[in-house]
Amino acid sequence: MPGPTISVVIPCFNVQETLREAIQSVQAQSVPVLETICINDGSDDSTLALLSEMALDGIVKCINLDTSGGACKARNIGSLNAKGQVIQFLDADDTLADGKLLRQITILNGSGADFIAGGYEYQNLAGNISTHQPDEDSWAGLIESKLGRTSSNIFKAEALRAVGGWSERQKSSQEYELMFRLLRNGARIATDDLVGARLRARNDGISNTNIRDNAIRFLELRRDIMNYLERNQLITNHRRICFIRICEVMNKEISAG
């Protein structure tokens, strides 16, 4: 029985240096991809020229936005145009690890999950690489940002449509805000501990700019999560400890900012 069809959606803003490597990592997957949709988000470098070249070669489908609306808007536009039953969002400065899609599609088929939180490698601005795995307790993982990242995870298209896709108002913690709404809506989650994506920090990336504002938004979202858990009698000692621990870290960032 054939597996579900896969669409890869890549928002692209001034990524001329990393775009080819990201797309090559999609092409290297051992499971066929129905389409790779790249959204040029108002780039002012050579990104659009590269995408146009690859679109002519049939490698990608290119959607051009004259002005930048942000990654979430680009992802939503890509999702609306996607024909696949499963969507892999990939940031253009990240790469997929070999075998990632086949492994996670197999997990989806076997578990009946609506989305998967996967492991990943992260290279910081200093060049140091760390490996991260998702928490088996999805709510604890949601609180402490241990539930994968955009490029390491994968989603069923129907589950995304059921919650209205990505929030275009959310300036940071975007994938965690999305996963919170998915879990609240009853979406089923599975985890994949193996490294599925390799992420690289950018000087102008969301996580490295407006650090104080990001920390404030981070805590606001986690308080919303805790309030939801309280209302639904889902608080455990582990989840409460995770919340206390992450609050201490974020409050230090806010004070330092």
* Tens digits of residue pLDDT in 28-70: 999 999 999 999 999 999 999 999 999 999 999 999 999 999 9
Q: What residue spans define the domains of the chain?
A: 6-204
* Tens digits of residue pLDDT in 198-257: 999 876 655 556 788 899 999 999 999 999 999 999 999 999 999 999 999 998 888 886
* Tens digits of residue pLDDT in 142-183: 999 999 999 999 999 999 999 999 999 999 999 999 999 999
Query: How would CATH label the architecture of 6-204?
Result: Alpha-Beta Complex (3.90)
From CA 17, how far away is CA 200, in angstroms rounded?
12
- Please give the pLDDT value at position 255: 85
Confidence grade of residue 1 (pLDDT, cut at 50, 70, 90):
very low
- Please give the pLDDT value at position 252: 87
What is the mean predicted confidence (pLDDT) over 113-130?
Answer: 96
